[in-house]
Structure 1
């Protein structure tokens, strides 16, 4: 019985790239839906339609796949989104809970992956730094990095309450309404003067000196 002819090297590379992409997409969706611990190598491979041994060949481990899912999704959003649209893009992607196999789910994966090993922690820190750099110039102030961190903390808090804790009414709130309220308030964060504390401005709320 004759054996099947070997695939040309270019075709083998194309097949390998397609398999790798399917594993990344399957891992992204399952990590976002169920979290790292509840997602198994077997379920990832089944959703990708490949043998689970290929996950280890291309990523080394489930942890390695998670790290690449986070890096790929976060960096793609940074590359494709202007800084002034970045916060809203991340917020909407989380609020709309993208359908399986489509859209960006980096924030959902991020929220369910905090604390997952040194390798992933390093990727999370790097992504956080890149997002901070992108957002810190929006205010045009010297304390831009602080404002960027505050915006990111709010974004992650909203994501945690909506997708992980599933607290009502936020869990089922209309995405457009959430964006309207959050982005309106965020505009004040970017526009606030650098020195606006009541103690310095003399506005209502100034601390009263005791006699």
Structure 2
């Protein structure tokens, strides 16, 4: 009499959504801590407790993962935030980066932009999206310039606080920083557009 085949143990179901989220969160943390170039696929997979093959299955490449990290954070934040609240929301995300669940995508930007690697295009796109929204806050013809100046201030604060860790800014209370910065920025958007003085005609006085 032939023995019946032994039943095979049921394969443990893989929670793809949870694994994907863990990879995104691990990548966001490591990109923010080390920058895009210095973060390896292996380190991301190890922190997420996942196989490297799953990272490539879900995201295609490290660059694809970076794109999703940025999209999950800053681009979603941008599209869900009223233009007049965007700067403050972005500023607070930098100032409160250590809070549980804090969005770290701007830290990713700070650590990765300007490295000359494949992350550059994605990060420039992020800056362009912010510029478009912020430019609309200025009722003048130089909105794009004002938006770039505001972004330069925002990213400069981020660099000083998160990358250089320079005191007293690194340890300053977020509410105190916001009060000082936002108070100044309110008049920045409404200041009249500067006009270039006309040159006197040649030979005139």
Work out whether the TM-score is over 0.5.
yes
The change in CA–CA distance for 1:121 and 1:39 in structure 2 (over 3 A counts) is closer
Q: How many residues align?
A: 194
Conserved 8 A contact 2:160-2:169 = yes
Q: Which runs of 4+ in 1 moved over 6 A?
A: none
Aligned to 1:131: 130
* TM alignment of 1:92-111, pairs within 5 A: 92-99=92-99, 102-111=101-110
* TM alignment of 1:119-158, pairs within 5 A: 119-158=118-157
Structure 2 unmatched runs, 5+: 1-5, 199-204
Aligned to 1:113: 112
CA distance in structure 1 between the aligned counterparts of 2:10 and 2:26, rounded to whole angstroms: 30
2:7 matches 1:2: yes
Q: How far does residue 123 in structure 1 lie from its aligned partner after superposition?
A: 1.2
**With structure 2 as the length reference, what TM-score do the two structures score?**
0.84
* TM alignment of 1:1-211, pairs within 5 A: 1-5=6-10, 15-99=15-99, 102-116=101-115, 119-195=118-194
Which is higher, the Rg of structure 1 or of structure 2?
2
CA distance in structure 2 between the aligned counterparts of 1:127 and 1:68, rounded to whole angstroms: 12
Conserved 8 A contact 1:139-1:190 = yes
CA distance in structure 1 between the aligned counterparts of 2:117 and 2:72, rounded to whole angstroms: 18
CA distance in structure 2 between the aligned counterparts of 1:99 and 1:55, rounded to whole angstroms: 26
CA distance in structure 1 between the aligned counterparts of 2:40 and 2:124, rounded to whole angstroms: 25
